Structure 1
Amino acid sequence: MTSAAAAPDHPGLLPGSLTGAVGATRRTTRDWVVDSLCFLLGLGWVLLATGDALSPDPKFAAPLPQPWMVPVDAVIGLVCCALLWVRRRWPLGLAVATLPLTIFSMAGAVPLLIIYFTVVVHRRTAVALAVTAGGLLTNFAFSYVRPDPELPYWVVTAWGAVLCLSALAWGMFVRARRQLVVSLRERAHRAEAEQQLRVEQARHLERTRIAREMHDVLAHRISLLSLHAGALEFRPDAPPHEIVRAAGVMRSSAHQALQDLREVIGVLRADTGAAAERSPAGTTPERPQPTLADLPALVEESRQAGMRVTVRNRVADPAATPAAIGRSTYRIVQEGLTNARKHAPGAAVTVTVEGAPGAGLAIEVRNRRPVGPPPEIPGAGTGLIGLAERTTLAGGRLEHGRTESGDYRLGAWLPWSA
């Protein structure tokens, strides 16, 4: 007798095609089946009740005051059966309009009970109780208008009340069950939406991390290119072997920069789902990240570019440094050397790394004030911001600026658990 599909017409109501806003909702196949069964059930009861009323045996007849009321009752029952097809649109209105008919109509009892059940399922509890109270009042009057030939008045009235309250209990159970199903469905949809949001956030964070790595790597290599190109520009008469060496460094740096850029752009353009399917672990394979053991190679690369770099590595076993701390240290030194090339070309740079498990790891990149104006090398100005974020996420701190002696100092401290 009920349907589960439609949108509620006011807050707190269960979705169903019997609500007031259902006019714009198309009946589903289940709705048509349920409506057809309700109509046939109501029509069968109309025929049975009309036959009983016309029966000459008083045991099966609940007589009406006037004989002409029998066909009238049959017509009322047929009209109520027809109303079952539109009860989804106006359940409460039909229940209120047909409530007076329950005083004397036996043929319309089943169709009217179906309409009442519809109200209980698809309207608030207060509304359902109000309609129930009206039905109980008309039930008292029905036993006077159409007394049963064998059963006493109070027995008939009690059976009518039991039937009405049973329909109320059943309808409220159906309504509560549907609300539970709707709540579980909404919870599942919300969980799915939250999962998609987490995936999007993970993608965004991964792309941000890749962009930060691209800045750290490309800024370092492009600054090397700019430094060597500037040297060739101002020293066209340099010895051939120096020109060859500078050209080799420029070619190598350009090749590495293009390779890094190609990898980053490939990751950014790759579809995450396809990458997850290709990777057994569900993640895109990455190239090995630098560690503290790679720091000498980074310094040597800067020395080949003409920088005067002094390294004081006081870590007993660089290879034993945790990967996350080593990677952060590498990026901090890389950014410090890049900034020194940009803003203090020719100045001596001192790199100090010291620490131990339990005491933490301290990094310092210090360079003297440049003698002349620094060259104009373009930059985004976000390198130190990225380093500060990286250091903060690692639980450390970052400092940078001029010292009292005029040197520029980039210092950081990273926690290193024992």
Structure 2
Amino acid sequence: MKITIALLLAAGLALWNGVGLAASGAVWQVLLAIVLGVAAFFLGRRSAGSRDTWVLLAAAVASTPFAFLNAWDWGAGLAFYGVGFVLPWFAGRFRRQQLDLIAAGGERVRALEREQALIAAEARRRERERIAADMHDSLGHELALIALRAGLLELTPGLGPEQRAAAGELRAAAGSATEQLRQTIGLLTDDAEPTLTPADESVGDLVARAASAGLDVGLTTTGSATPSRAADRALHRVVQESLTNAAKHAPGTPVTVRVEHGPDATVVTVHNALSTVVSAVSGGRGLHGLAERVRLTGGTFHAGPADGGFTVTATIPHRETP
């Protein structure tokens, strides 16, 4: 709108001067140059490729003959108009570039702020998963061992009714605490199974620790272990969760762990017999988490009743999937 008014004023001044309506042509030439300069400045501020630039150029060219019919030397006048038109246009273009740079800088700052917010949110999520993994791998396993000890105590011959009932209550309380722990893990991980690395412990150490807590467990290993780090973590997790489930749901029953290392994959099988002791109902988070972890390594997972008990079988490739 401002540019249109300026162009109309420029054309009017040029015609007025050209038809002799002004007493002094020089005054109107100066006014015409000012109007064209203002229009050129605002056009320069517009985005590149604007067709208004050509409109202004056409108006300047068209008004020049009328402006100089009664005025100065043509050479001096054309130079005057050229400077009055070109310089304001470049000034407007410079201002446009300044504004574009300021806008781009502001957008870049906002983009960096959004990126930092995403990084901070991801860091908080990873910290929650780390805490959840620590709780699941340490507290969950220890609670399962407490339930195991209580279950063994409950089955001890010659135990009085009150002591047997107390042992049963302790076992039930440990199972309840385990379920509450699983619910807390669900809150910390947005209902996703933690996938971070468990404690740095070999499968042999894990089985020995469970045996020292009273679990009747035996380990058989064949072949040479050459898995990747991810496969080794998955192997440890499968055995740990299987022993935890056996201690929780089948206390007092024998458990066998068989690890077969092949050239390309490791097959782990954990089997426990059925228990006569009623256990707390599981939320199933552990087995679902195991299946997902093994799947991420490119392996297979199966868990279910077999051979008069419960069997967990996982095939874990040694190479990490891309």
Report the TM-score, using the length of structure 2 for normalisation.
0.68
- Looking at structure 2, the residues matched to 406 and 91 of structure 1 have their Cα atoms a distance apart, in angstroms, of 91
Partner of 1:122: 45
- C-alpha distance in 2, partners of 1:111/1:132? 15
Q: Deviations over 1:236-270 (max 9, x none)?
A: 9549xxx9xx9xxx9xxx9xx9xxx9xx99xx9xx
Q: Partner residue of 2:311?
A: 409
- Distance in 1 (CA, whole Å) between partners of 2:310 and 2:157 is 31
- 1 CA distance for matches of 2:44 and 2:154? 87
Distance 2:213 2:290 in 1: 24
Q: Does 1:367 align with 2:278?
A: no
Number of aligned residues? 283
Aligned to 2:51, the other structure's residue is in SS state helix
The 3 A distance-change label for structure 1 pair 181 and 315 is farther
Q: In the TM superposition, what are the counterparts of 1:231-250 in structure 2 within 5 Å?
A: 231-232=152-153, 238=159
**Would the aligned equivalents of 2:45 and 2:93 in 1 still touch at CA under 8 Å?**
no
Q: 1:232/1:310 Cα in 2 relative to 1: closer, same or farther (>3 Å)?
A: closer
Change (3 A) 1:161 1:114: closer
* Contact 2:294–2:300 under 8 Å retained in 1: yes
Is 1:350–1:366's contact at 8 Å kept on the other side of the alignment?
yes
SS in 2 for 1:290: coil
Superposition deviation, residue 216 in structure 1 = 3.0
Q: Residues of 2 paired with 1:414 and 1:287: CA distance?
A: 16
Q: Which residue of 1 aligns with 2:259?
A: 353
Spell out, residue by residue over 1:120-178, the C-alpha distance to the aligned partner (whole angstroms, 9 max, x if none): 2333412343344334333332223x411xx14x7735753564355435534653565
Give 1:352 deviation, angstroms: 1.1
Give 1:210 shift: 3.4
* Structure 2 residue 35 is matched with structure 1 residue 112: yes
2:71 to 140, 147, 150: 147
Identify which of 195, 205, 210 aligns with 1:302: 210
Give the number of the structure with larger relative contact order, counting CA–CA contacts within 8 Å between residues 6 or more apart: 2
Stretches (4+) displaced over 4 A: 230-239, 320-323
Counterpart amino acid of residue 64 in structure 2:
N
Alignment partner for residue 125 of structure 2, among 187, 204, 213?
204
User: Which digits, 9 at most, give the CA deviation of each residue in 1:11-62, with x for residues without a partner?
Assistant: xxxxxxxxxxxxxxxxxxxxxxxxxxxxxxxxxxxxxxxxxxxxxxxxxxxx
- Pick which of 124-133 and 161-170 moved more: 161-170
Tell me the TM-score normalized by structure 1: 0.55
Amino acid at match of 1:361: T
**By how many angstroms is 1:289 displaced?**
2.9
Match of 1:272 in 2: none
**Counterpart-to-counterpart distance in 1, 2:230 and 2:155:** 41
Say which SS state the counterpart of residue 68 (structure 2) adopts.
helix
Farther-moved stretch of structure 1 (327-336 vs 157-166)? 157-166
Matched, 1:186 2:107: yes
Match of residue 22 from structure 1 = none
The share of aligned pairs that are identical, in percent, is 30
Query: Any stretches of 5+ residues in structure 2 without a counterpart?
Result: 18-27, 189-195
Q: Deviations over 1:175-223 (max 9, x none)?
A: 3565356446534642553354234224313422431342233222112
Verify the 8 A CA contact 2:137 2:198 in the aligned structure 1: no
Change in CA separation of 1:347 and 1:414 when aligned onto 2, cut-off 3 Å: same
SS of equivalent residue, structure 1 residue 414: strand
Deviation at 1:355, TM superposition (A): 1.0
List runs of 5+ in structure 1 lacking aligned partners: 1-89, 269-285
Kept in 2, the 8 Å contact 1:342–1:375? The answer is yes
